[in-house]
A and B are shown apart, each in its own frame.
Chain A
Amino acid sequence: MLTLNVLVAISLIYVIALFSVAYVAERRAAQGKAGWLRAPMIYTLSLSVYCTAWTFYGAVGYAARSGLEFITIYLGPTLVFIGWWWLLRKLVRIGRSQRITSIADLISSRYGKSNSLAVIVTLMAVIASTPYIALQLQSVSLSFSVFAPAEGTPDALADQRTTAMWVAIGLAVFTVLFGTRNLDANERHHGVVMAIAVEAVVKLVALLAVGAFVVWGMAGGIGPMLERIDQSQVAAWEVEGSRWVGLIFVSAAAVITLPRMFQVLVVENADEGHLSTASWAFPAYLLLMSLFVIPIAVMGLERMPEGANPDLFVLTLPLSEDQNALAALAFLGGFSSATSMVIVASIALSTMVSNHIIMPIWLSFQEGGASVSGDVRRAMLRSRRASIAAVMILGYGYYALSSGSEALAAIGLIAFVGAAQVLPALIGAIFWRGATRRGAAAGLIAGFAVWAYTLYLPSFGASGPMSAEFLQNGPAGLSALRPQALFGLVGLDPLVHALLWSMVLNTGAFLAVSLMTFPSPMERLQGAQFVNIFEHSSSPRSWTGGMAEAEDLLIMAQRILGAREAQSLFVTAAQEQGKTGYLPEPTPDFLALLERELAGSVGAATAHAMISQINGGASVSVRDLMAVADETAQMMEYSSQLETKSQELEAIAGQLRDANEKLTELSIQKDAFLSQISHELRTPMTSIRSFSEILMEGSLEASERQRYSKIIHGESIRLTRLLDDLLDLSVLENGQVVLNPQTDTLQALLDRAVAATTAAGQQPQAIRIVRSQGAETITLHTDTDRLVQVFINIIANSIKYCDAADPELRIEARSTGEELWLDFIDNGSGIPPRSEAVIFEKFARIGDQAKAGGAGLGLAICREIMANLGGSIMYVREHQGAAFRVTLPIHLSQAA
């Protein structure tokens, strides 16, 4: 049996070989001899990071446990590469033309370069990938332990952890060395890709070798093998439709959206043409990887003792047959699967963490200092390395905390579902111009939250953050919120359930919010660039093969720059070219210079389009037009802003005009009011002055003196009352009145009013008051004094104005349920229709002034009082005599 030490030595040699491959690849790329590094096959092989240790070892275990279902994990990507490779091509084209560095960057860039979206995607990726990295570490340490029992270590788990730690450290060193060597804007890592490609070959060869040994070495050929399969329980598993569909969908999504897949598929892609090779070669690779899964599983179940871990059949089968070399190869295959995944995942995650979280924070702390490019470069490298270390520490930490638990085994599919949450925003990004930043954020957050709630958190089991109680009955017993039966959806496989809900809510939120919100100009522009990527020219913007005539260029330049400036530019350029005369040769350099000059006046895009037009070599591309349109849009935006401003000013001017008119009107009203007041004050004062002068003369009879004193006295009282009324009205109108609510029956209040008007004694004629006693029993809670004041005013008016021979005032109370209606109807001739409108105005007096005896403020005061009490007073027309209706809401007026 292979000893552990030999195995460690093999691993070390293998690792050194990988380092060398990566190093050589980097060297050659740096020397510009990257030719064979850019072969389509290398690209295809690098895509194999899809096949992690979970696929290498796990597929066999999966088949042993659930039969053919493992095939879905290969079917999804196969379908994408064969059927949807145009989607991949679009992604790759966008990735290149927009210099996309990660999936978070793509989402952020498309939705208006929103860093908050990038942060969301990054956090999601880290949360979903960390357990996945832990799973790889576990598989490596587990595979080491397969060789270890012979030495009888008592503390196996601790040993495994130590192994995992060393593996993590080694991977961190490798990734830092080859993942952060250069800061190419395209984020391509030739060394890493090369090493991954080598590992891809190793794991494929290892699995094929084990498979071949199982079929021809153990079973004795294809025929006997098929017989064994037929008899095995592996073939007996029933296919569960919903799980198959769900798994195919989720693995198809994951092959695009997993951070490491995006890294190799889009970011590391050197040539779009490689995709056409990959579209058949990668499915072929997957087919080869899955070819011997079933035979190995069947043989393992047959030969290995009961309870042996089917995940390790790839290793344990050769070992049980004493095929040490084969076992070592299998071990290297598994090791390759695990390490390639961890390396690429940590590069992808560290790029995201560093670019979208650490660097923005770092830059915000650098005020102005960041302009030194060396500083930024060093900071970026440091931040990238720190991020790699952090990702690795997270992965190891997760492994150390959860190793041995069931959680890890299931994490592969759980991570797939988590990664798939980016799919709606991604598809929307490249196919739907109406998709907005807010929509993307809403979808991502909704999908991710549902994923975490229904799948990720429950995966920790009852010892995790969700108790068995919680899983069984939902939070606080809310069964609609049970994590594995959300909104009462029971009977589904937990994975399918989580996938269904997260994708439905994710897509729903994305669509709904996108439709409700409006994209910003930046989002619109990026959206158009992404969705219509293929319509844009991908040719580099340099001037070659020009057919421009210098004279044409000069004519155009003069129009834009002005004659003198254009000519001096051309003459200088001609002199520099060593030409006599004023026309330079239209070389690419000169065209570039001219473009820059023109851009200063008309904008970069327009300048480019103009020169393109004259140069003729390249017709104006859609992209140029787009850029021109963008510039025009900006100008239009400015102009529309100006228009808005001017509209605002106009509106303000209008408001000022209105305010002025209102003030003028108020001023007129104030004049009229003062004029009225003046009249009301001067009239009694006239009598007072006149009679005082008469009295001062002396020579009067006693009876005359008596009479005139009385007039003076009466007029003084009239003045006082007028002033009282004015003050009262002013308080009521300003709303400064303090109400004093009391409770009394309507009957008692009317009694008080009637007593006050008839007991005054000075009324020339009495009036008969008829009341509907029965209805007056209602109890009111209001300012009763004020209400009585209103009643007195109305009754006094009737006494004054009712011109019937036998004056009578009927007071009728009635309740509508909500309001109290109180009608005061006399039998006089009423108020002339033309006066109805003015009786409630101040100083409105109808008819004989002497008879009225007041200043005409009574009804104005009544109206204000009723408004203050929440009711109203109005004149009722349909009666023959004068009729006033007082209404008061009962809910306000009734005693509590």
Chain B
Amino acid sequence: MAKKVLLIEDEPNIIEAIKFILSREGWEVMAHSDGASALDAIERIAPDAIVLDVMLPNRSGFDILRDLRSKASTEALPVLMLTAKGQKRDRELAESYGVTHFMTKPFSNQDVLERIRELTA
């Protein structure tokens, strides 16, 4: 059975690009674009890994990550965080919340593939 990756991202073009890259390699990719309802979506879908944007409508990726780590069911869920802000401070904040991987946009497709492979291995 294919591993599920949930993409939490609000830029349609980026969603399309990541979906294309990952689904080619056999992952089942789903997307969700709202920050506030992201946790519910994760609960419902129960993905093997999530790709999380930081700047989301209504709720930031950092808040979502913190909540994930505070719940037993999602405590160990692999999270690849992607951000366009790309400041050192953001990386440190994400790491302190327990992010699995942190990448800045724009990314290389190859890097994303490899990270997701690691996360779902």
Contacts and interface: CB of A to CB of B under 8 A. Distances in A.
Interface of A: 675, 678-680, 682-683, 685-691, 693-694, 711, 714-715, 847-850
B108 to A, nearest CB: 7
Contacts of B104: 682
Contacts of B106: 682, 685-686, 688-690
Interface string B18-61: 10110000000000010000000000000000000001010000
Nearest to A849: B10
5 contacts: A675-B87, A685-B105, A687-B11, A848-B10, A848-B33
B85 interface: yes
B83 to A, nearest CB: 8
A850 B10 contact: yes
Contacts of B12: 850
Contacts of A848: 10, 33, 57
Contacts of B11: 683, 686-687, 849-850
Nearest to A683: B84
B85 A679 contact: yes
Contacts of B18: 690
B70 interface: no
Interface of B: 10-14, 16-18, 20-21, 33, 55, 57, 84-87, 104-110
Chain B at the A interface: SS class: loop
Contact of A686 (B14, B57, B85, B110): B14
Contacts of A685: 105-106
Q: What are the 8 A-B residue pairs with the smallest beta carbon separation, nearest first?
A: A690-B17, A682-B84, A687-B13, A689-B106, A686-B105, A686-B106, A679-B84, A693-B109
Contacts of A711: 13, 16
A686 B55 CA distance: 14
Most chain B CB within a 10 A radius of its CB, from A686, A688, A848: A686
A679 B17 contact: no
Contacts of A675: 85, 87
Given A683-B11, A694-B21, A849-B10, A689 B107 contact: yes
Nearest to A680: B84
A775 B48 CA distance: 63
Nearest to A848: B57
A683 B16 CA distance: 13
Contacts of B107: 686, 689-690
Most chain B CB within a 10 A radius of its CB, from A690, A711, A848: A690
A687 B19 CA distance: 12
B57 A847 contact: yes
Contacts of B13: 687, 691, 711, 714-715
A694 B17 contact: yes
B17 A678 contact: no
A789 B16 CA distance: 33
A849 B57 contact: yes
A770 to B, nearest CB: 31
Contacts of B55: 679, 849
A687 B14 contact: yes
A110 to B, nearest CB: 74
A678 B108 contact: no
A363 to B, nearest CB: 74
Contacts of B20: 694
B84 A690 contact: no
Contacts of A850: 10-12, 33
A715 B57 CA distance: 20
Contacts of A688: 106
A683 B106 CA distance: 7
A13 B107 CA distance: 128
